[in-house]
C-alpha cells in the first residue's frame, strides 16, 4: 500500500523553523496499530492522518510517536496546507471532525487560521513536585488539560532546564510555561514553552493546542482579545491569537519541506 506523505513546518514562513508535522492522506482508516506505527516511524512530534473524501467535514486524527492526542494545532495547520494546495484549491475554509469536536481552518491571505475550543485554566497549588520538575518556582500555576506555570519574565522561561522524568510523573498531559514578552521577541504579548515527555515529546517546538489555554489567560491579564505570541523553543514559532467567545483563533504560516509517499506492508 502506497500513501501520500507530506512534511510541513507549521507556524513559520520559512523551512527549518516552527514545528514540523507529517501529514498522511488516507482513503479509509487503517488499524490503530498501523497508524501508531507510522507515527512512531516518522518520529516527529505529531503525525496527522486525514481522509479527504469530500469537501464536507473531514475526519482527522493526530498521533505523537507514542500516543494518540485529542487536539493538535500545528499538525492541523500542516494538514490544511496540504489540502488547500493539493486537494481543495478552490476552498477557503476546511472543517475537520476530531476527538475534540469539529474544528475549522480558514485562509486569510498568507495566514492559516485555526478555530479551536478555548480551554481556560483554573488556579492550582504550586507543588514541590512542579517546582522540582521545572527547576524553578513559578509565580502562579493553573490547570486545564495541561499545567500552566506563569513566570515573571521571558528570561526565566528561556533559562528553564526541566527534569523531563519528573515532568512526565506529574498528573497532567503536559506543562506549559509562560511569561509576558519583552523586546527580544519583537513585541510579542507573551512567550511560552511546552513540555510533554510523557507523550513522547520532551519539548515541542510550537504548540497550537497550548494556546487554547494561553490565549484566555493572557487575554484576561492584558485586557485585549488579539494577541501576538511566540514560542521560544530552539526552532521558535510565531502565532497570532484571538479570543472569540468560547473559541480561540490561532493563526500562523506554513512552509512545505517534503512531499512523497510511504509504502506500508499490511
Q: Where in the sequence numbering do the catalytic residues fall?
A: 46
- Please give the angle made by the CA atoms of 90, 260 and 203, to the nearest 5 degrees: 95
Q: What is the 3-state secondary structure (H, E, C) of 29-54?
A: CCCHHHHHHHHHHHCCCEEEEECCCC
- Where would I find the H helices in 180-255? 211-222
Rounded-to-integer distance, Cα 158 and Cα 31, Å = 40
Q: What is the 3-state secondary structure (H, E, C) of 231-260?
A: ECCCCCEEEEEEEECCEEEEEECEEEEEEE
> Is residue 18 within 8 Å of residue 252, measured between CB atoms?
yes
Amino acid at each position: 500500500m502506497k500513501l501520500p506523505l507530506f512534511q510541513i513546518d507549521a507556524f513559520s514562513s520559512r523551512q527549518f523553523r516552527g514545528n514540523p508535522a507529517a501529514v498522511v492522506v488516507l482513503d479509509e482508516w487503517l488499524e490503530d496499530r498501523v497508524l501508531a506505527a507510522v507515527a512512531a516511524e516518522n518520529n516527529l512530534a505529531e503525525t496527522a492522518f486525514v481522509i479527504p473524501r469530500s469537501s464536507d467535514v473531514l475526519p482527522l486524527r493526530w498521533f505523537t510517536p507514542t500516543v494518540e492526542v485529542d487536539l493538535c494545532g500545528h499538525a492541523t495547520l500542516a494538514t490544511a496546507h496540504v489540502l488547500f494546495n493539493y486537494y481543495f484549491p478552490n476552498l477557503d475554509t476546511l472543517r475537520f471532525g476530531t476527538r475534540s469536536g469539529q474544528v475549522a481552518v480558514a485562509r486569510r491571505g498568507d495566514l492559516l487560521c485555526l478555530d479551536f475550543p478555548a480551554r481556560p485554566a483554573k488556579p492550582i497549588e504550586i507543588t514541590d513536585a512542579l517546582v522540582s520538575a521545572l527547576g524553578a518556582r513559578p509565580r502562579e500555576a493553573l490547570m486545564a488539560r495541561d499545567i500552566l506555570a506563569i513566570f515573571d519574565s521571558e528570561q526565566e522561561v528561556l533559562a528553564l532546564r526541566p527534569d523531563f522524568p519528573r515532568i512526565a510523573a506529574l498528573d497532567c498531559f503536559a506543562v506549559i510555561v509562560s511569561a509576558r514578552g519583552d523586546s527580544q521577541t519583537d513585541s510579542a504579548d507573551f512567550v511560552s514553552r511546552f513540555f510533554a515527555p510523557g507523550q513522547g515529546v520532551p519539548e515541542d517546538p510550537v504548540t497550537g493546542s497550548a494556546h487554547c489555554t494561553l490565549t484566555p489567560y493572557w487575554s484576561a491579564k492584558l485586557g485585549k482579545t488579539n494577541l501576538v505570541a511566540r514560542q521560544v523553543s530552539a526552532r521558535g514559532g510565531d502565532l497570532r491569537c484571538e479570543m472569540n467567545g468560547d473559541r480561540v483563533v490561532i493563526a500562523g504560516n506554513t512552509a512545505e519541506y517534503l512531499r512523497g509517499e510511504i509504502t506500508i506492508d499490511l
